[in-house]
Amino acid sequence: MQIFNNWNVIAKGWYIACPSQSLSRGKAKSVGVCGQQIVIFRGEDGKVRALDAYCPHLGTDLGIGQVDGNWIRCAFHHWAFDETGYCQHIPCQSEIPDRAKLSACATEEKYGFIWIYPDAKAPEKLAEFDELKCKEIVARSDSPFERNCHHHICMMNGIDAQHLKTIHHLDIKMDLSLHRNESGRQIDFTMRGNFPQTTFRERLAKRFLGDSYEYSMRYADGCIGLLTMMKKVRLFPTLHMLYAYTPIEPGRTRIQPIYVTEKRQGIIGYLLSHFLLLCTRLAYYMLRDEDGKIYDNIRFNPQVLLSIDAPLTEYMQYVNKLEPSRWSPIIEDK
């Protein structure tokens, strides 16, 4: 099955439901994710749960219901469901039908958002940056935006070596290295090269950052991209940025940018962390506007790929080995 650039397949992966701060303890809300309606609710213990939104009795949206302890109770007839999706209480009778259940989604809170996974259990936790593992982090989100193409197409931008020169006017020759994790759900592209001295910007970068440059793109589940910039350079720490992609409808993709850095102690540490977040944001805005018009007007149909396009080919092969989720329209139709 072709998964790459296929609107009829939603791959299993972590997708943003809503900001964490928008769901307080004891509250529920109904959200649309990848064409599905999901109820998310925060129990009295503070943990977030997620179920298919519509009550199996008559189809009431559980998002307008009430949180009862760590259950969600339907607003219509007060059926109560636990985090596994099984009905635990029906007020009008003691017997609970076997079919009184809903599909559950795994949840995780990270980077300031609530994320959901199409299955009740996720095989892997949400992707992280290697440099920030086991560290306390600070994350700041920017305004989400939309593109008129599939998110698989948008995601390849970070590994398209040709466009560094044609769009961003960076005459950098990059060498590529690849690494896949054991599950095959995650792939790392690392690009390395030496700064040329053909433009003022390149000469300035070489003077302050050193002779070479390196950045990496980590892709997880074909729907999350983790960009690490300024690797192994002088005078500057690494910058981290995450892109979360969600298909809205055929032809439209929502992209949520998130800036991430290590949380540092003290006033100086606080100022440094927020300075790095600002630097990441400035780098993002410099690159986003230059690429935007391309992806809002593309009809992806590669006919002639060059050797320099090897990362793009690798990415397409990686995506096609991912697993379709129950949210995929072609699976729902069967």
Domain ranges for the chain: 15-117, 130-300
Taking the domain 130-300, which CATH number applies?
3.90.380.10
Print burial letters for 310-326: b (CB count within 10 Å at least 16), e (below 16). ebbebbbebbbebbbbe
CA–CA separation, 91 vs 82, rounded Å?
15
CA–CA separation, 258 vs 140, rounded Å?
6
Intervals of the chain under pLDDT 70: 169-174, 201-202, 289-290, 330-334
3-state SS, residue 182: coil
pLDDT score of 109: 97
Q: How many CB atoms lie within 10 A of CB 191?
A: 20
Asked if 158 and 225 touch (Cβ cutoff 8 Å), the reply is yes
Which element (helix H / strand E) includes 163? helix 161-166
What lies within 8 Å, CB to CB, of 56 at 6+ separation is 87, 99, 100, 101, 102
* Cα angle 274-276-278, degrees, rounded to a multiple of 5: 70
First to last CA, the chain: 15
Asked if 115 and 108 touch (Cβ cutoff 8 Å), the reply is yes
Asked if 55 and 79 touch (Cβ cutoff 8 Å), the reply is yes
pLDDT score of 171: 63
Taking the domain 15-117, which CATH number applies?
2.102.10.10
Asked if 195 and 207 touch (Cβ cutoff 8 Å), the reply is no
Among 160, 186, 144, residue whose Cα is nearest residue 298: 160
pLDDT score of 259: 98
Type of residue found at 198: T
pLDDT score of 287: 73
Distances (CA, A) of 23 to 26, 41, 47, 70, 75: 8, 7, 11, 14, 18
Beta strands at 28-33 and 186-194: parallel, antiparallel or unpaired: unpaired
